Amino acid sequence: MKIAIIIALIALAARAAWAAPQELSAYLDQELSKTDMAAEQRAAVVGAVRAKFGNFAVELVTGVKVDGAKTVLSIISDSCKGQSPARMAEVSFAAYRAVLRGADLALADAAAAKVCAADTPAASLASWLNGYADMRTGKVPAYIAEELVLVAMEKAWPVRTFDAVKWGLVEGIKEGFSPKNYAGFVLDAMVKDPSAPGRTVADAKVLFRKAKGTETAYVFRKAPPETAPASPKPEVAAQPQTQPPQAQAATEPETKPENVEKVAATVPLQSAPEPSALFEETFKAGYENTWEPLAAAGGNFDKFAKISGALIVSVPGGNSWGKTGFMSKTPFITIQEGAAPQKIEFVFDENDTTGYVIALSKDKNADVWWNNNVWLHWCRQSVTAGAFAFVNTQNSSESYGSTPTPAKAPAKVTLLIKPGSVRFESSQGASKEGNFSWIKPGTSAYLYIFSHPPTESAAAGFTLKSIKVY
């Protein structure tokens, strides 16, 4: 009887000790109640978090969201203490999203403190921390990624400068350069003269392709300790054969010409691994850090667009050109010289797509038709045919005509970008390359994706599942 009572008490204690996961806003309310924050202020802060975080505020704090919740709590109770509730929510939301993508917690906290102390826009924090995650995805060592973020914060670099160096470091890793030496060379040059990041990265690549062992004197704050070279293994004296040559020959056949095919056939073919995406957007975790709504020439994001595991846009007829979709909040790519073409891949629901434009421009304008651009328009023209139009709408000499396609939208469209030119390829086989004079090394470009009908006032829409950058 006593044993049964003891077991029951243990079970009750275990049940009491276990706490079910809380919603993020409830977790913050509970933890902030343990601080010296007044109840009235706490209610205002939690309310601001609910307003800014939207659906994220009611998600359960589990898995990686535990780290995100701890970061939000630290920013509100320490890094941005004394700021308005709206400012706390704005900064902590940028950090929270970045931590979910893989940003370092300590770095997120330090960067948030810097942003709050200097009254820097939260968008800069998002760019720095998401840039850290981009670099880690691109195999840049953590101490180098953190160094770049710290330098960018301290020197107050514009986002386009930070992005140019960030992608330059990722490209250097892909080319097999020494991470420490290459990054040190680039950072040393950028600290001395940050005015031309594209040229600095391009010059570094040229140098390191010629001499990959170039040493750097740059001192990283968190560089790992140098490891001593391994001691050479002592030579081992040759051992006498344990079987006669005749027996050895019997077990190890010569690779004569007639045996080559048989030997090769026993070696399994290895397919090349898929490259890792440097950036991936699947529209499953909001969009505020990377994108902002676009509506022009009759478009209306609130009426015609929604996020539901994809960007879904459906513009009915009678709305002029009805341009509705997204544009990147900050420059999306920086044109790189001497590297492999930069690749942006778009995946659509081909059964729910009738017309869209993918555009690049160095200018930010919701109606980007009026700016120098790369304008790729696909639309269903009839029940039997579709077509791509490929053009710079502001330069008639950079017009590359129409490319026919089936009426069904291609499931995948890819842009391949290098200085001076852009090529598009579709999963249905359509492709074309065009020269664009504004696509120059070091130029940063915004990315646009929006609905566009074949003729004014016709209906158009698309379902975009993902965007990846390679």
Domains of the chain: 17-137 (no CATH), 162-221 (no CATH), 279-469 (2.60.120.200)
One DSSP character per residue, 270-302 reads PPPPPPPPSEEE-SSS-STTTEEEEEETT--HH
pLDDT for res 57: 83
Contact predicate 102/134, CB 8 Å: no
Q: Average pLDDT over the chain, rounded to whole?
A: 82
Residues paired with 32 in a beta bridge:
none
Answer for the pair 176, 212: CB distance below 8 angstroms, yes or no. Answer: yes
- 10 Å Cβ neighbour count for 38? 9
Residue 195, token pair as written in the block: 């005015």
pTM of the model: 0.48
Q: How confident is the model at residue 141 (pLDDT cuts 50, 70, 90)?
A: very high
Angle between helices 179-192 and 197-210 (to 10 degrees): 140
Say how far apart CA 226 and CA 181 lie, in whole Å: 13
Give the pLDDT of residue 426: 94
Residue 313, both tokens: 């846009």
pLDDT for res 156: 85
pLDDT of residue 303: 96
The per-type count for the chain, helices as H runs and strands as E runs, is: 14, 16
Cα–Cα distance between 344 and 279 in angstroms, integer?
9
Distance CA 277, CA 435 (A): 26
Of the candidates 215, 222, 463, the residue with the CA atom closest to the CA atom of residue 325: 463
pLDDT confidence of residue 175? 86
The yes-or-no verdict on residue 127 having pLDDT over 70 is yes
pLDDT band at 53 (very low <50, low <70, confident <90, very high): confident
Tell me how far apart the alpha carbons of residues 297 and 325 are, in angstroms, rounded to a whole number: 12
The per-residue b/e assignment along 273-300, b for 16 or more CB within 10 angstroms, e otherwise, is eeeebbbebebeebbbbbbebbbbbbbe
According to DSSP, the residues that pair with 357 across neighbouring strands are 377, 450
For residues 159-185, give the mean pLDDT. Answer: 88
Q: Which residues touch 351 (CB under 8 Å, ≥6 apart)?
A: 408
Q: What is the pLDDT of residue 437?
A: 94
Residue 392 CB-half CA count within 13 A: 20
Q: Which two tokens stand for residue 196?
A: 């031309």
The answer to whether 49 and 71 are in contact (CB under 8 A) is no
Highest mean pLDDT among 50-64, 186-200, 221-235: 186-200
* Residue 255 clears pLDDT 50, i.e. is over it: no
Q: What is the pLDDT of residue 112?
A: 83
Q: What are phi and psi of 125, to 5 degrees?
A: -60, -45
| Pure H helices in 306-399 | none
- Strand positions, DSSP E, 126-245: none
CA-CA distances (angstroms) from residue 90 to 84, 227, 288?
A: 10, 43, 11
Flag whether pLDDT at 274 surpasses 70.
Answer: no
**DSSP H stretches of helix in 193-288:** 197-210, 245-251, 257-265
Q: Tell me the pLDDT tens digit for each residue of 11-42.
A: 554 444 445 678 888 998 999 998 889 899 99
Please check whether residue 378 is in contact with residue 450, taking contact to mean a CB–CB distance below 8 angstroms: no
Mean pLDDT highest for which of 28-42, 219-233, 307-321? 307-321
The C-alpha atoms of residue 332 and residue 328 are separated, in whole angstroms, by: 6
What percent helix, strand, coil does the chain show, rounded to 5? 40, 20, 40
416 has a pLDDT exceeding 70:
yes
At residue 323, the 3 state secondary structure works out as strand
Highest mean pLDDT of the ranges 61-70, 337-346, 409-418: 409-418
Higher pLDDT, 64 or 375: 375
Instruction: Report whether pLDDT(463) > 90.
Output: yes
Nearest CA-CA partner of 190 in 222, 225, 216, 223: 216
Q: Are 105 and 71 in contact (CB under 8 A)?
A: yes
Q: Does residue 138 carry a pLDDT above 90?
A: no
Token look-up 């667009």 returns 305
The average pLDDT across 134-152 equals: 90
